[in-house]
């Protein structure tokens, strides 16, 4: 596309937003009205027409995939790479800043991001160490507590004697957890944002550098920013620079994770002369689909009223299917996909959306049975599979010996005679002397505390890691990975596993080696390839690795579908207690968030929308009866057609 045509594919309101004079802008608009399109074109406008250098742009997207897509769209509009522009999620941008300023952020050079599984394991261990009753002080709850506190920008304080014992205990867990992370150079997701925020707040020179550099900050899906993310933006905002945010209060679906839709309101108050633009033409969906979405969301009281309309055809009826049970539901959906496919619709244009990850299992079984290829976003991903995580843990400990989460995973995998007793001794020593597990192991060996056989086994482990590290130094990443898998003994271990499962594990390890290859020429030269690879995985970009060009049915949760669009959308499990969830039934505010989630689901559909519910479902082996979701009753009945079984 030529720059002179930059505004051609936009309506008047969109043009107004894209070409607005420099200033702070809020685009508040409903689903599918072109918010993301406006943001992309605005960046191109700032670069090509306003002649800003790419390095002056900081763009925040909701997923890494969206960041990549936006980058390439801008490149296509401009006809060249916007080199120097920063674009990514809050997490990946924070990570990038911390990588550069790790010293100022008080982090070791080889700090590593831990995912929620590692975070959970670490907390479990610490709660045990603190001698707390695990039935009461669960690691999962501790995780929620800590993440929520970090999202609010809160650090554990000196515990006040007047503090309630429950709060004091959570704070203690937070404090001990944070100490353990600091020792091991581990950073969780919430920490990435908080740490960057604190660093920028305390180091004025660094903050000023970024303030002067990022003259333009643009944020997509602003309705889902939380307190600390908003504070982050405020900190980076240059008083001479400009911010453009786009969002839709009706699509705020992360309230449970601390997102504050009020940030949109705060934005108008906190920044001078905000120009608010609303878009009301939907370009995505048929009339029927949009009408259904509008009807549904009108049941929410807490919202800014919008009048979203479309010029497109009425389109097909929304198909509604009442299944006997979850198996019948899955067969209905997959058979419909097969039929559509025969009529020319690509599999990748079909998405199945569900409320909870666990709902994908039956769907997967039926897809496998009927031999329809599929891809699951966000469920058990490639990089979350056991064998892949094992191999990654070896790579991680080679990258950073003090990575306790990695140590924990591989200390006796494959089994090498290091029993739970020995591991317990290592942990105690680490806690008592404030060491990492690796450091504690070395001290234990020096002090010869362990019995002979345990001592030998531990020594072998340390030697093994050091040897592998030496053997692979300076080799290309895929060869390093291959050697790590072989020399660690993982390959042999999984090869001995019988049958289909063992074979698939070996295939996954081979796939892992393939996935590393492109990191040899990673664009970010601040990092060695191994570091670049590990950080990309930790930042959850794993979907990038799986082949997107493959024609496969897409499966994901409703939360993961935000911002995306598909020709055919299936929303399954519309039953009271499933969607809306049990918790939402009890609380009005949560019910509104749940309804917004349904709104997000419906508005993903371009041409076809199918909604299903089951009369019974097996839950923990028990047959449970369900009533159809209230959301179905809230749809305009004249847009719906009941479907028959195939
Ligand atoms: N002026 C336009 N002319 C034609 N198509 C458009 C126009 N504006 C947007 N579209 C198309 O409409 C669809 C929705 O646009 P986009 O994804 O930018 O909307 P959005 O407001 O960001 O949606 P969501 O709320 O789901 O994030 C896309 O396919 C986009 O290409
Ligand atoms: Mg969008």
What pLDDT, in 10s, does the model give residues 483-497?
999 999 999 999 888
Asked if residue 444 has pLDDT above 70, the reply is yes
Average pLDDT score, the chain: 90
Q: Predicted confidence band at 535 (pLDDT cuts at 50, 70, 90)?
A: confident
Mean pLDDT on 550-568? 93
Q: For residue 604, give the ligand 1 atom closest to its CA.
A: 26
User: Catalytic amino acids?
Assistant: 35-36, 220-221, 251, 604
Question: For residue 620, what pLDDT is reported?
Answer: 67
Q: Predicted confidence band at 622 (pLDDT cuts at 50, 70, 90)?
A: confident
Separation between Cα atoms, residue 193 and residue 98, nearest integer Å = 10
According to CATH, the topology of domain 112-184 is Arc Repressor Mutant, subunit A (1.10.10)
**Choices 1.10.287.1080, 2.60.120.10, 1.10.486.10, 1.10.760.10: CATH for 383-418+446-539:** 1.10.486.10
Ligand 1 centroid distance, CA of 268 (Å): 24
The residue whose CA is least distant from atom 15 of ligand 1 is 34
Asked if residue 526 has pLDDT above 70, the reply is no
Q: What is the 3-state secondary structure (H, E, C) of 410-444?
A: HCCCCCCCCCHHHHHHHHHHHHHHCCCHHHHHHHH
Q: Predicted confidence band at 141 (pLDDT cuts at 50, 70, 90)?
A: very high
Ligand 2 centroid distance, CA of 464 (Å): 49
Hey, which residues does 611 pair with through a beta bridge? Answer: 320, 571
Phi, psi for residue 451 in degrees, rounded to 5: -70, 160
Asked if residue 543 has pLDDT above 60, the reply is no
Mean pLDDT on 504-530? 76
Classified as helix, coil or strand, 116 is helix
Omega of the bond leading into 580 within 30 degrees of 0 (cis): yes
Please say whether the beta carbons of 279 and 34 come within 8 A: yes
Domain residue ranges in the chain? 1-96+193-279, 112-184, 287-381+547-642, 383-418+446-539
The residue whose CA is least distant from atom 14 of ligand 1 is 32
Q: What is the pTM of this model?
A: 0.82
Question: For residue 337, what pLDDT is reported?
Answer: 98
Q: Do domains 1-96+193-279 and 383-418+446-539 have the same CATH topology?
A: no
**300-313 per-position pLDDT tens digit:** 997 888 889 999 99
Q: What residue ranges line ligand 1, CB within 6 angstroms?
A: 9-11, 14, 29, 31-37, 248, 251, 283-284, 563, 565, 603
Q: Predicted confidence band at 3 (pLDDT cuts at 50, 70, 90)?
A: low
Asked if residue 546 has pLDDT above 70, the reply is no
Please say whether the beta carbons of 425 and 461 come within 8 A: no
Phi, psi for residue 370 in degrees, rounded to 5: -90, 10
Q: How many CB atoms lie within 10 A of CB 310?
A: 20
**Choices 3.40.50.880, 3.90.1150.10, 3.40.50.300, 3.60.20.10: CATH for 1-96+193-279:** 3.40.50.300
Least confident of 159-163, 219-223, 551-555: 159-163
CATH superfamily of 287-381+547-642: P-loop containing nucleotide triphosphate hydrolases (3.40.50.300)
Question: For residue 488, what pLDDT is reported?
Answer: 96
Ligand 1 centroid distance, CA of 596 (Å): 19
**412-423 per-position pLDDT tens digit:** 999 999 999 999
Q: Averaging pLDDT over each range in 380-384, 437-441, 499-503, 582-586, which range is the top one?
A: 437-441
Which are the contacts of 515, defined by CB distance < 8 A and separation ≥ 6? 382, 533, 545
Q: For residue 30, give the ligand 1 atom closest to its CA.
A: 25
Query: Ligand 1: which of 15, 27, 34, 290 to mutate, judged by most atoms within 8 Å of the beta carbon?
Result: 34
Mean pLDDT on 571-598? 93
In this structure, what token pair is assigned to residue 630?
Answer: 């209230």
Q: Predicted confidence band at 275 (pLDDT cuts at 50, 70, 90)?
A: very high
| Nearest in space to 394 (alpha carbons), one of 485, 472, 459 | 485
Mean pLDDT on 586-599? 92
In this structure, what token pair is assigned to residue 133?
Answer: 């009753």
Question: For residue 545, what pLDDT is reported?
Answer: 47
């Amino acid at each position: 596309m030529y720059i002179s045509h930059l505004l051609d594919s936009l309506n008047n309101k969109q043009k107004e937003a894209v070409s607005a004079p420099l200033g702070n802008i809020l685009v508040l608009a409903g689903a599918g009205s072109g918010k993301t399109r406006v943001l992309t074109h605005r960046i191109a406008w700032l670069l090509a027409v306003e002649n800003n250098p790419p390095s002056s742009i900081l763009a925040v997207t909701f997923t890494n995939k969206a960041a990549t897509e936006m980058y390439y769209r801008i490149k296509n509009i401009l006809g060249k790479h916007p080199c120097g522009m920063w674009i990514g999620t809050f997490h990946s941008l924070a990570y990038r800043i911390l990588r550069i300023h790790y010293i100022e952020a008080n982090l070791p050079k080889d700090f590593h991001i831990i995912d929620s599984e590692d975070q959970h394991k670490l907390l479990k261990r610490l709660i045990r160490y603190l001698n707390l009753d695990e039935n009461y002080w669960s690691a999962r709850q501790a995780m929620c507590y800590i993440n929520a506190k970090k999202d609010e920008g809160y650090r554990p304080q000196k515990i006040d004697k007047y503090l309630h014992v429950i709060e004091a205990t959570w704070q203690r867990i937070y404090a001990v957890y944070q100490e353990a992370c600091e020792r091991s150079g581990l950073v969780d997701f919430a920490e990435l944002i908080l740490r960057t925020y604190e660093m920028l707040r305390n180091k004025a020179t660094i903050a000023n550098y970024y303030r002067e550099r990022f003259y333009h900050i643009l944020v997509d899906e602003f309705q889902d920013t939380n307190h600390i993310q908003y504070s982050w933006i405020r900190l980076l905002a240059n008083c001479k620079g400009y911010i453009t945010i786009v969002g839709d209060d009706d699509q705020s679906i992360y309230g449970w994770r601390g997102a504050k839709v009020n940030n949109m309101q705060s934005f108008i108050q906190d920044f001078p002369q905000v120009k608010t633009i609303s878009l009301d033409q939907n370009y995505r969906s048929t009339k029927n689909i949009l009408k259904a979405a509008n009807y549904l969301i009108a049941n929410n009281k807490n919202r800014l009223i919008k009048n979203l309309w479309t010029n497109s055809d009425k389109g097909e009826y929304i198909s509604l299917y009442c299944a006997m049970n979850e198996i019948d539901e899955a067969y209905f959906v997959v058979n419909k996909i097969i039929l559509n496919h025969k009529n020319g619709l690509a599999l990748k244009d079909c998405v199945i959306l569900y409320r909870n990850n666990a709902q994908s299992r039956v769907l997967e079984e039926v897809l496998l049975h009927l031999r329809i290829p599929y891809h699951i976003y966000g469920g058990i991903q490639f990089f979350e599979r056991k064998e892949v995580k094992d191999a990654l843990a070896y790579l991680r400990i080679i990258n950073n010996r003090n990575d306790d989460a990695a140590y924990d995973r591989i200390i006796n995998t494959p089994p090498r005679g290091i029993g739970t007793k020995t591991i317990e001794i290592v942990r105690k020593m680490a806690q008592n002397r404030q060491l990492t597990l690796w450091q504690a192991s070395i001290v234990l060996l020096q002090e010869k505390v362990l019995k002979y056989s345990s001592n030998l086994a531990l020594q072998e482990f340390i030697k093994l890691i050091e040897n592998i590290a030496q053997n692979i130094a300076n080799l290309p990443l895929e060869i390093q990975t291959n050697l790590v898998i072989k020399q660690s003994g993982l390959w042999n271990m999984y090869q001995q596993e019988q049958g289909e499962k063992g074979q698939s594990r070996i295939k996954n390890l081979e796939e892992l080696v393939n996935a590393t290859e492109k990191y040899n020429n990673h664009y970010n030269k601040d990092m060695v390839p191994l570091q670049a690879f590990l950080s990309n995985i930790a930042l959850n970009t794993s979907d990038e690795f799986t082949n997107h060009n493959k024609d496969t049915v897409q499966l994901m949760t409703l939360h993961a579908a935000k911002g995306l669009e598909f020709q055919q959308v299936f929303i399954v499990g519309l039953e009271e207690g499933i969607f809306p969830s049990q918790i939402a039934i009890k609380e009005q505010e949560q019910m509104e968030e749940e309804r917004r989630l349904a709104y997000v689901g419906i508005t993903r559909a371009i041409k076809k929308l199918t909604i299903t519910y089951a009369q019974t479902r097996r839950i923990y082996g028990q047959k449970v009866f369900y009533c159809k979701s209230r959301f179905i009753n809230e749809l305009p009945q004249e847009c719906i057609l009941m479907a028959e079984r195939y």
